[in-house]
A and B are shown apart, each in its own frame.
Chain A
Amino acid sequence: MSVILILIGVSLGIALLFLAGFIWAVRSGQFDDTCTPSLRVLADEEPAAVSVSKPATKPTSKSP
Chain B
Amino acid sequence: MICRVNGALNKTLIEPHDSLSAGRMPAANRGRSSDFSERVYCFHCGEPCPSARFVREEEVFCCQGCLAVHELLAGAGLEHFYQLGDHPGVRVRGASRRGQWTYLDDPKLQQRFLDFTDGTRSRVTFRIPAIHCVACVWLLENLFRLHPGIGRSAVQFARREATIDFVADRIRLSELVALLASIGYEPALTLAELGKRPPPSLRKRQWIQVGIAGFAFGNIMLFSLPAYLGLDALNGGGFKGLFGCLSLALALPVLLYSASDYWESARLSLRRRVLTLEVPISLGLAALYAWSAYEIVSGRGAGYLDSLVGLVFFLLCGRAFQQKTHDRLAFDRDYKSFFPLSVARRTGGAEESVAISDLRVGDRIVLRNGELIPADAILVRGRALVDYSFVTGESEPVPKDGGDYLYAGGRQIGGRIEVETAKPVSQSYLTSLWNHEAFRKAPGSDVQSLTNRYSRRFTLIVVGVAVGAGVFWLLRGDPARAIKAFTTVLIVACPCALALAAPFTLGTAQRAMSRLGVFLRNGLVIERMAQVNAIVFDKTGTLTAPRSAGVCFQGEPLQAAEEGRIFSLARQSRHPHSVRISEWLPTGCSPQPVESFRETPGCGLEAMVGGREVLLGSAAWLESHGVGVAWGSTLRMTGPPASPGGAGARTISGSAVHVAIGGRHRGAFLLSSSLRPETGLLLRELGGRYEVTLLSGDNEKERDLFMGLFGGASRLNFNQSPLDKLAFIQRLQDSGRVVMMVGDGLNDAGALRQSDIGVAVVESIGAFSPASDVILEGGRVPCLNSILLMARDATRIVRLSFGISAFYNLAGIGVAASGLLSPLVCAVLMPLSSLSVVLFACGATAWRARKRFDGFDRVTSDRVGRGLSAGRSSDLAGPDLEGRRAVTGASLGAGFAKEGAA
Chain A residues at the B interface, C-beta cutoff of 8 Å = 1, 4-5, 8, 12, 15, 18-19, 22-23, 26-27, 29, 31-36, 39-40, 42-43, 45-46, 49, 52-60, 62-64
Contact = CB atoms under 8 A, between A and B. Distances in A.
Contact of B208 (A4, A23, A45): A23
A60 B138 contact: no
B115 interface: yes
B141 A40 contact: yes
A35 B219 contact: no
Interface stretch (B40-48, B145-153, B446-454): B145-153
29 contacts: A4-B234, A4-B239, A12-B219, A15-B218, A19-B211, A26-B204, A26-B208, A27-B204, A27-B208, A29-B204, A31-B204, A32-B204, A33-B157, A35-B157, A35-B158, A35-B867, A36-B154, A36-B155, A39-B157, A43-B135, A43-B137, A45-B80, A46-B80, A52-B145, A55-B150, A56-B144, A56-B150, A58-B152, A60-B116
B145 A53 contact: yes
Contacts of B167: 56-57
Interface of B: 77, 80, 84, 115-117, 121, 123, 134-135, 137-138, 141, 144-145, 148-152, 154-159, 165-167, 170, 200, 203-204, 207-208, 211-212, 215, 218-219, 233-234, 239, 242, 246, 327, 866-867
Given A33-B157, A36-B158, A43-B135, A26 B149 contact: no
Contacts of A1: 233
A35 B165 CA distance: 21
B135 A59 contact: no
B207 A26 contact: yes
A57 B152 contact: yes
Contacts, number: 106
A14 to B, nearest CB: 11
Contacts of A8: 242, 246
Given A49-B77, A57-B121, A39 B137 contact: yes
B499 to A, nearest CB: 24
B219 to A, nearest CB: 6
Contact of A57 (B165, B203, B246): B165
Given A35-B158, A36-B158, A59-B165, A53 B144 contact: yes
Contact of B152 (A52, A53, A55): A55
Nearest to B145: A53
Contacts of A45: 80
Given A32-B156, A40-B138, A59-B151, 5 more contacts: A8-B242, A32-B203, A35-B867, A40-B141, A59-B152
Contact of B867 (A39, A55, A63): A39
Contacts of B159: 33
A63 B208 CA distance: 20
A49 B123 CA distance: 26
B138 A43 contact: yes
Contacts of A46: 80
Given A36-B157, A43-B135, A56 B170 contact: yes
Nearest to A16: B215
Closest 8 pairs between A and B when the two form their complex, measured CB to CB? A57-B151, A43-B138, A64-B116, A59-B152, A36-B157, A35-B158, A26-B207, A55-B144
A1 B155 CA distance: 55
Nearest to A46: B80
Contacts of A34: 158
A40 B153 CA distance: 13
A31 B170 contact: no
A35 B234 CA distance: 46
Nearest to A35: B158
A36 B131 CA distance: 11
A27 B165 CA distance: 21
Q: Report which residue of A34, A59, A63 has the largest number of chain B beta carbons within 10 angstroms of its beta carbon.
A: A59
A12 B249 CA distance: 12
Nearest to B116: A64
Contacts of B144: 53-56
Contacts of A64: 115-117
A56 B146 CA distance: 11
Nearest to A61: B152
Nearest to A64: B116
A34 B150 CA distance: 25
B80 A49 contact: yes
Given A36-B158, A39-B157, A57-B121, A31 B207 contact: yes
B240 to A, nearest CB: 13
Nearest to B79: A49
A26 B77 contact: no
Contacts of B170: 56
Contacts of B208: 22-23, 26-27
A57 B121 CA distance: 8
Contacts of B211: 19, 22-23, 26
Contacts of B138: 40, 43
Contacts of B215: 15, 18-19, 22
Contacts of A55: 144, 150-152, 165
Contacts of A32: 156, 200, 203-204
Contacts of A43: 84, 134-135, 137-138
Contacts of B157: 33, 35-36, 39
A4 B234 CA distance: 10
A59 B207 CA distance: 26
Contacts of B204: 26-27, 29, 31-32
A60 B165 contact: yes
A31 B201 CA distance: 11
A2 to B, nearest CB: 9
Given A40-B141, A52-B145, A56-B149, A12 B246 contact: yes
B156 A33 contact: yes
A19 B152 contact: no
A46 B234 CA distance: 58
Contact of A56 (B80, B137, B151, B203): B151
B541 to A, nearest CB: 30
A58 to B, nearest CB: 7
Given A45-B80, A49-B80, A39 B134 contact: yes
Contacts of B117: 64
Contacts of B80: 45-46, 49
B116 A62 contact: yes
Contacts of B219: 12, 15
Contacts of B234: 4
A8 B220 CA distance: 12
A42 B84 contact: yes
Contacts of B145: 52-53
